[in-house]
Amino acid sequence: RNTKRIAKEFEKGAGKRLHRELVELDEKNTHTSYISDPWFNMYLSAREPVVLNFNPFISLTPDPREAYNNQLVRATNLIISSIKFLKSLKHNYLRPDIYYGDPKWSESRLFKNFIRLLPTSVSWYGAYMVNAYPLDMSQYSRLFRSSRIPKLNKDELFTSECSRHLLVMRNGHFYVFDVLDSVENILHPSEIVAHLIYIIQEADRLPEFALSYLTTEDRNIWATVRQQLLEAGNEENLKKIDSAIFCLCLDNIFPKDEDELSHCLLHGNGFNRWFDKSISLIITGDGRAGINFEHSWGDGVAVLRFVNEVYRNSTRHPALLPHSRSAETTVITCERLEFKLNDSIQSAIHVAHEKFAERKKKMSMKRFKFRKFGKDYIVKQRMSPDAIFQLACQITFYRQFGRVVPSYEACSTAAFKHGRTETIRPTSMLTKQCSQAIVEERGKHSVAELRNMIDECSKYHRRLQMEAALGNGFDRHLFALKHLAVSRGEPTPDFFLDTAYQKINHNVISTSTLQSPAVNLGGFGPVVSDGFGIGYHVSDTWLGCNATSYLDEELQEFLRCLEYSLNDIFDILEGRPLIP
């Protein structure tokens, strides 16, 4: 009742005024979205370390031909495919991101020619006529040559316009070499692999002080130490790191299973990463590949497009064959970056290393796969695959803890200029009712009644997805209203101080998904200390996830209960009564 009173007062008073001012501000800034600046500000002002808290990872599917999964072969092919993507992007050859209401148009030559002939100013309307909607691609400009720069209180994003070099890390050492010449021709594959061989042979031991541990630190501490690095004469080396096209991490690690691979890609050993780079391409000793990306500049949609294109090109049109030899006459122009480290900086590296090791040790991560059904089966049931997995998570938490909690699912708003994400709220009265029926009232409801409950949850979740994608969610709107009040030095309205608003933003279950044949798995750390981070994948024939938590026993029990919940859903959809 108190929350309802506060909400009504906000709606008629401060909320109404802030909304009016937000609309006016939005109308004055037609070049961008009302959420863009506040969202950048939120990320860049966060003082927690980016690793484990913000940076997600994506694991690429192995090359279907085993011989191409050699570390040097795969690294070389992925480098060249990545540079091809960069060049296509820079010269406007990259095919636009489009949402097709009718998928048949996606491969229609008639449609492509029709749009190509239209002037840019009206091409959007031409696409709209056939129910096709161009998506915002502004984030792509920070995919390459970009880095997050630590600053006191608020970081900055840096992007170089014309750098030609690649940053390669091996055993904590930094190397740079040009992969593009002065007229933007890509270095020959045999020359690239020759440079990589040189780096692997040269960096055969760890440095005494691994500088990259500093990127795992609290942002204000890292900003202070970076200033010390600049004053000690390391400015040029830091510029080379920040402006590099991307970071290639050649790991001397051979993960024995998917769990070890996930740990490697999410945080690794710390010394062979530069977590501030917009994207880092990681290749393990056995040729497994993945991406770790800094999150402030963009979201999964841009990274997924990059992953899809690079995976497709590197597997279908590999530049380097397994039996190819490096160019024996290659002149190695690789530069190893040597840093001047005084006692204060060395001490900061040592402390950062210890803190990172402690945080890493506390976080658990487990891989989960359920093979009884996948997307194809759920679609045949005329239900939403995404909704079914989200419902399974709700049932699971209720089964384990006997209550419902705030949950989060990310949804892209790339349909809007400079759109970022909106929140889908999977927890609802419908999912609560269904969870209670399946967990506590197993003998009370018929199979038909339970199936109807699941169907209603699926329909409602689809509605929430559509609302979020079309900008009709509530989270970002409220976030922008609060940001507007705070940025103007006004007292925070009671609405945002209310325990209900604070609780709904303590997302115990935080989820995200990226669906693609190029993606093997993905994941991220939990967003709250008592929560779960669920990076899930809905394949044609199976459902799975990477789950993280700082509560190891609870995480193991969560995944055990998740299997029970999916089995219950499967039995209901198959028409079998639940065993009490």
**Residue 267 · residue 361 · CB < 8 Å:** no
Dist CA 445 CA 260 (whole Å)? 42
Dist CA 448 CA 577 (whole Å)? 9
Dist CA 546 CA 266 (whole Å)? 11
Q: Could you tell me the CA-to-CA distances from 421 to 15, 411, 452 in Å, in that order? A: 22, 5, 31
Estimate to the nearest angstrom the gap between the alpha carbon of 151 and the chain centroid.
23
Dist CA 258 CA 241 (whole Å)? 30
**Residue 272 · residue 138 · CB < 8 Å:** no
Residue located via tokens 């967003």: 527
Residue type for 61, please? T
**Residue 75 · residue 283 · CB < 8 Å:** yes
The three-state DSSP-derived secondary structure of 354-385 is HHHHHHHHHCEEEEEEECCCCHHHHHHCCCCH
**Residue 59 · residue 522 · CB < 8 Å:** yes
Closest to 276 in 3D by CA, of 225, 350, 233, 314: 225
Residues near 324 by beta carbon (within 8 Å), at least 6 away in sequence = 73, 189, 190, 193
List the beta bridge partners of residue 548: 365, 533
Residues near 437 by beta carbon (within 8 Å), at least 6 away in sequence = 444, 445, 449, 450, 453
Residue located via tokens 């809007």: 416
Dist CA 417 CA 166 (whole Å)? 31
The pairs formed by 92-96 with CB atoms below 8 angstroms and a separation of 24 or more are 94/140, 96/134, 96/135, 96/137
Dist CA 180 CA 83 (whole Å)? 8
Q: Could you tell me the CA-to-CA distances from 272 to 19, 176, 205, 487, 572 in Å, in that order? A: 46, 14, 12, 38, 48
Closest to 393 in 3D by CA, of 427, 367, 366: 427
**Residue 316 · residue 175 · CB < 8 Å:** no
Dist CA 187 CA 327 (whole Å)? 12
Closest to 423 in 3D by CA, of 434, 408, 444: 408
Active site residues: 295
- Measure the CA angle with vertex 530, ends 527 and 535; round to 5°: 45
